[in-house]
Structure 1
């Protein structure tokens, strides 16, 4: 909670005054009284814990800290304070708390100093020394900036950082921290520019390299991120973080063999690290080695029993069934875990576990809890997306389309599969990728990246310059965008005459796609509203799809999608085909022939044996498309009907 009222400020001042005067008991009591007026306030809980510890009242301090960590589990100073509380009586527990503190706020030098004294491993001692040296070397104001960043006080951090850079405009660490603030604010183009400029000045700045890779990855510039990661490993050939980052970038480019080789090396180097087998499992899943994926996920869960992502990854295989022992383990983990992300993963995993056991009320409860926590943890408003979709209809008129009929690159090889998540797009992709003339790729990021470029500098949620900016582009510039797309996506292709781009959210950008690639074909993967919305709601996505965690948002998004696709059908009637999932399941051969006729390709038997295709599949349906089509997924909402009145009312039969 944040409150800038005079009453709140006066209470904070009173607590701090008594704390400085050594009146610890009075200060703690004032903090307790303030909490009656400002329940669960972070500052009063923290000050109360500090005062109680100084007063040697451990039970009272523990009470403050328990409430503080329950409400703010990622508050580094709370973990540091807990470490201080147990430093003398339980050094091992204190060390664990200090490790948590710097995990959430690496600017806490007091925690690093205690880790240096208490840590049992030489690796942790060396890491502590490195961070102490860094924090003592940089200007104190930048230590404050770093701390504010990790406490999510981004406006204050940016103000301090910019004031510092006005006096020292070429200070590289100041530039790096400003880039970090931009990245946290989702102004990724600024972050990229700052880090690129910094690395031109200091090409061997490895911390900046790590940050640059992260920003490039978030901007979905995977090839460039891979190149920087390669440079990083050359500079730090034995460094765990550098190797781990390099492996992740290999996986992003589809080099799962290379990624797995590094993960296996890292598992030997750091056998107690649960993140390595977790990502190793993701790689095995993508290439279709389900047995190895399960072993990796179970290994990750055994190393860290509260690691929610490990259990959700098992559930997300769709074919794995949890036994009673694992369900009990998940129930204990969700009760014990303080991390919101772990709780989210665990609730979704428990939902799937109970659904498989046909305990639908329990399953719904956990899906509802997981969705609620996910929605609460994200700063998302559906209105911005709905306005963006409306702007597409307003901008891409028949007049605009006629005016730009001769623009763009003439390539005929791209086939875009678009639609909503969980609508059957992976099935269509797998069928078509089994044709000898069609290369399957993945959910290619390029169109979204171009849209971000055209939008210009903006924070998340703010209106951008797209699509209006397209009107300012010349025919040559539009053609260059199309050519750039063809060239940049070549790395994902093989020798087929055509290739698939299965980024579902591209349905929002069909006007742009058809302007830069006028001969592109569009496949709209569609599923009945009830099934599509419910399937998306009970799916935890790795990133994006923020609309899917709330039925109000889902319903609005689905209706806007239908409306926008209707507009595109009118604009480009010969370039778009709609494939209904239910029809594909009921009449696979007929629908496959229809698709291939649309693409002007002959039927091949391999398309009907798509489940034998060994290509890597990255989506939530990766295991399902490796089996023959099954019909028990047509109405997944049916067993939950009693809990879905709002959804069913919105989409009547």
Structure 2
């Protein structure tokens, strides 16, 4: 048996002293940085043993230590609820039971206790909400309830196994299908999740929860037209249901229908003004439209309504132009030191890093950036070995003979211009330059190539090896499908830009399905690029950026793969260095336009005057003329970045 199992057995037998001593012995052998999950489990069991033995203060100390390591740990909050209830502190007890249900809505015992509390305090609104959740949880088959609990606790593979076992006996159970899809989304198996949700809605067209989850997935996959269509369909079945309306507005932002989305957000806020999350989304819409003052007001309203709303502060920092006041910095520091949700804490750390950078307090700035990165890296569980495997496979499969064999089998249309590379390498600037041309539509970071690669990969990891066994006519079909799916994001121009940076991994696939597409590699000097990525908190993906070691190795592998594409596809990729664009804007503009077969237009040089929707972190920067300040910003942090600098020197990437 494991040490944890031995301690659990001692607790079940009432041997609390033995359980506490065993936990203490194990804790002395563990290192915080290497064994965080095990430390949390041992502290939890130790705290339970203390509570059951009547030592309530020690029980509180154990659970609070857990919350210092993992602020949203649902079981720790639930256990504190029990301790404070035993201490005759009903308000503290109810507060922790509530926080437990926010992290894990499947905690039946916490909901039951909250129900009794709301009943005793005559809080009818909260009582009704608790009753609805209790009815829902009690109606779930026990295996599905247990699997849902496991999912919220982060035990995704156990939840997946248990859910699949149940669906073998009742394969069309709606809650089972929904849960398996949610687990798939958490595991980023989007194709299977989409199939499950689509099947669930086919069988149960008015299943509101499945519909809302499908809306979230479609937006996550960048399929905004499908999301908008589904939202309108669900609205007919569930009129004016706020989550559906919010999802519709978010899809409209994705489609560039910004003004209509803003109107919808504002209409929802007019009915219920105290919605910090909705104010945040409204701010994002204003920012995408270039209405920065309105965006700032919305973000400020959001944090005033919810002081621990880290994302509101980070969104202000992420405008790249907002300067925090002394009061705002003090408020962020206060909130970051409280037992708040881990995501909020991460947002506060990144925002504080930016606020101190703006004040030239670079030591404090780096400390906050490092704290945010450490927490985020622990959350993502990024494994650099997976990238190495993926890149090696690309190099092994996509060789010159494959392109010679399948030459011109794909769709021949020249519409797309792929701008790719690493995030924070200047791709938004290149997109803005090209989208200022009368013959080119700017779109966004389209997920379609990544989605095609994921479908080819399937559950058995067949991509890219499957490429050599596909029938040649598949490539034209894939190219045509790509153009059809991306049509919703285009205007009337004959050419358009796909700015998904991660597409650099799939240049071989792009060449096979769209041989006449243009590919531009946005390249930035490694220190500037990697440090810019390190201090950026991304809304989704880019897990490799959280940690200097991870991001520097990722840059190295990116360069290696780009060198491979240059070798097997000579002339297919145009490399544009960010530093060259800054030093010789007009020369690089002409170079890109020539590569794309486009006539020179002065508007491309005057790119900052172009009015269009931009949803990346650089949105405000590319609405201004080019500036050189960012080229050497990393040198303000030269001491903590020395190891990364030495790595790049050793790899020959810088001199």
TM class by smaller structure: over 0.9
Partner of 2:435: 433
Report how far residue 191 of structure 1 moved: 2.1
Deviations 1:43-82 (A, max 9, x none): 4544454455556654333223212322343332322233
Partner of 1:187: 189
Partner of 1:82: 80
Partner of 1:17: 13
3-state SS of the aligned residue for 1:220?
coil
Aligned pair 1:127/2:129, yes or no? yes
Residues 144 and 176, structure 2, Cα contact 8 Å, conserved in 1: yes
Residues 70 and 338, structure 1, Cα contact 8 Å, conserved in 2: no
Partner of 1:173: 175
- Residue ranges of structure 2 left out of the alignment (5+ in a row): 28-37
What is the aligned length?
636
Aligned pair 1:630/2:618, yes or no? no
Residues 34 and 44, structure 1, Cα contact 8 Å, conserved in 2: no
Residues 306 and 337, structure 1, Cα contact 8 Å, conserved in 2: no
Residues 67 and 339, structure 2, Cα contact 8 Å, conserved in 1: no
Question: CA 1:565–1:342 in structure 2 vs 1: closer, same or farther (change >3 Å)?
Answer: same
Aligned 1:488-567 pairs, distance under 5 A: 488-567=485-564
Residues 231 and 248, structure 2, Cα contact 8 Å, conserved in 1: yes
Partner of 1:22: none
Greater alpha carbon shift after TM alignment, 237-246 vs 353-362: 237-246
Partner of 1:136: 138
Q: Distance in 1 between matches of 2:123 and 2:620?
A: 40
Partner of 2:26: 38
Aligned pair 1:480/2:477, yes or no? yes
- Of 158, 164, 182, which aligns to 1:156? 158
Partner of 1:21: none
Residues 423 and 525, structure 1, Cα contact 8 Å, conserved in 2: yes
Report how far residue 417 of structure 1 moved: 0.6
Question: CA 1:48–1:353 in structure 2 vs 1: closer, same or farther (change >3 Å)?
Answer: same
Report how far residue 456 of structure 1 moved: 0.6
Question: CA 1:410–1:163 in structure 2 vs 1: closer, same or farther (change >3 Å)?
Answer: closer
Aligned pair 1:111/2:110, yes or no? yes
Report how far residue 515 of structure 1 moved: 0.7
Partner of 1:71: 69
Residues 220 and 449, structure 1, Cα contact 8 Å, conserved in 2: no
3-state SS of the aligned residue for 2:444?
coil
Partner of 2:590: 593
Deviations 1:385-444 (A, max 9, x none): 122122222222121111111200110111111111111111111111111111111111
Residues 68 and 339, structure 2, Cα contact 8 Å, conserved in 1: no
Q: Distance in 1 between matches of 2:501 and 2:160?
A: 35
Q: Distance in 2 between matches of 1:12 and 1:210?
A: 39
Q: Distance in 2 between matches of 1:156 and 1:553?
A: 28
Q: Distance in 2 between matches of 1:490 and 1:519?
A: 17
- Residue ranges of structure 1 left out of the alignment (5+ in a row): 19-25, 459-463
Q: Distance in 1 between matches of 2:478 and 2:561?
A: 23
Q: Distance in 2 between matches of 1:48 and 1:644?
A: 40
Greater alpha carbon shift after TM alignment, 513-522 vs 368-377: 368-377
Greater alpha carbon shift after TM alignment, 344-353 vs 96-105: 96-105
Q: Distance in 1 between matches of 2:500 and 2:369?
A: 25
Question: CA 1:250–1:98 in structure 2 vs 1: closer, same or farther (change >3 Å)?
Answer: farther
Report how far residue 90 of structure 1 moved: 4.5
Q: Distance in 2 between matches of 1:237 and 1:89?
A: 44
Aligned CA-pair RMSD: 2.1
Aligned 1:68-467 pairs, distance under 5 A: 68-87=66-85, 89-119=88-118, 122-457=124-459, 464-467=461-464
Residues 4 and 42, structure 2, Cα contact 8 Å, conserved in 1: no
